Amino acid sequence: MKKLGLILGLAAICIASVAEEKEGYFLPWDQKGSLIWRGAVEGNDGTWYDIRIVPGYTPPGRYGWKYMKMGGRNLREYVEAEKYQKIGEQSGEVLEWSYDDCLSDFTFKGAGKAWKKNYGRAAKRTEKRVFGWWLSYPWATVQSCVDNVFRIPTGLIGTTAGTGWSLVVIPAYHAVDSGTKAVWNGGVRGAVVPVSGWAWNTLASPPLSLVGQMPSHERVDGFWVREVEKGLEPGREPDQQAKVAVAEWGVLLHGEFMGFETRRNEINREQSRRLKEIEAEKRRVREEMARRKAAVTLEEEKRVESLLAEENRNDLVGRVQDGNWTKNSIRYYRDDIRNQLQKLGMSKTQQDAVIRILQEHPPASIDWRAYQKTDPLLETIDVIKKVGQ
């Protein structure tokens, strides 16, 4: 107790010394009351200062009333037609997807299309007597069966899930969503939060009003203390006449601005039209440049072929082709190739250019990775990948 008394005495001495140095340091009684009641203080310069750590009594009350009304509106949704219309629309959309898209198109029609497509290909192979044509129909049967084995269970599962979602999940969600929002808005934000603010204000505002200093522009930090914007000062809520006046003024401006709005819409349409023209021109330029680049690439390929055919380069060409340098191997060993290029006196930029050219035109005439081989397992995987396409 003696230590507590000593601390309080020192604090009183410090406060008294500050007060002596600066007259008007503490809040006058009317500002103390404003701090406790509103959580804000009007300075001598007419500026209102909001004290963030002092909630006051009126701000939590307004906050709570706002969310109490919102909670009431949430509960009112149960007796309004909009909620049930939304349930019907959302359930109908999911049912449409379940039976039209999933069951009918994907499952039944898709299964039939798979057989038709695969047997059509088998018929063409058989007609042309391509190599192994006698395997065409068994191969098509395997493809179709694999497609159906994957497609039909997937479609039925999707249909069942969609039906359950439509008839159970959506109605259940809408049965509790308004009540949940009402509890949160009306119960938590409308009751618990204001009561908590009032309790803290009762505890903190009286001592702070006694020892708190008079606010000023210099003491505003933007967090604990901030200046209230003009027109939003506490106790200055507009009355009904002011609300009517601003509404009438808005109607007047709306009528006067109709011409401006028309011009603005014309500008927006003009902007849209010109941007579309620019995009069309950009597409045309890209297509033209792509054709020209393709022509250059073709010339490069022809030049490579001519270099490979030159007799005086047979030794170099032979040594290069013996290495079976493909695009993949050049990319894998590019650091080693860079080291050799550096020994040949090439700069970093030149090395990058050489690596790019070698990758675009690999010396090896055949890259086994480019072959498109298949077997029953690879064909099964490919069929599954294409289900739904």
pLDDT of amino acid 364: 67
Tell me if 246 is assigned to some domain.
no
Confidence grade of residue 370 (pLDDT, cut at 50, 70, 90): very low
27 and 91 assigned to the same domain: no
76 and 195 assigned to the same domain: yes
pLDDT of amino acid 369: 39
Reduced 3-state DSSP string for the chain: CHHHHHHHHHHHHHHHHHHHHCCCCECCHHHHHHHHHHCEEECCCCCEEEECCCCCCHHHHHHHHHHHHHHHHHHHHHHCHHHHHHHHHHHHHHHHHHHHHHHHHHHHHHHHHHHHHHHHHHHHHHHHCCCCHHHHHHHHHHHHHHHHHHHHHHHHHHHHHHHHHHHHHHHHHHHHHHHHHHHHHHHHHHHHHHHHHHHHHHHHHHHHHHHCECCCHHHCCCCCEEECCCCCCCCCCCCHHHHHHHHHHHHHHHHHCHHHHHHHHHHHHHHHHHHHHHHHHHHHHHHHHHHHHHHHHHHHHHHHHHHHHCHHHHHHHHHHHHCCCCHHHHHHCHHHHHHHHHHCCCCHHHHHHHHHHHHHCCCCCCCHHHCCCCCHHHHHHHHHHHCCC
Tell me if 166 is assigned to some domain.
yes
324 and 371 assigned to the same domain: yes
Confidence grade of residue 17 (pLDDT, cut at 50, 70, 90): very low
How many domains in the chain? 4
Is the pLDDT at 153 greater than 60? The verdict is yes
Q: Give the pTM.
A: 0.50
Confidence grade of residue 371 (pLDDT, cut at 50, 70, 90): very low
Q: What is the pLDDT of residues 324-362, one digit of tens each?
A: 788 888 888 888 888 888 888 888 888 888 888 888 878
Give the domain extent around 288: 253-309
Q: What is the pLDDT of residues 166-215, one digit of tens each?
A: 999 999 998 899 999 999 999 998 999 999 989 988 988 888 888 777 77
143 and 226 assigned to the same domain: no
Confidence grade of residue 19 (pLDDT, cut at 50, 70, 90): very low
Q: What is the pLDDT of residues 282-318, one digit of tens each?
A: 999 999 999 999 899 888 888 877 777 777 777 777 7
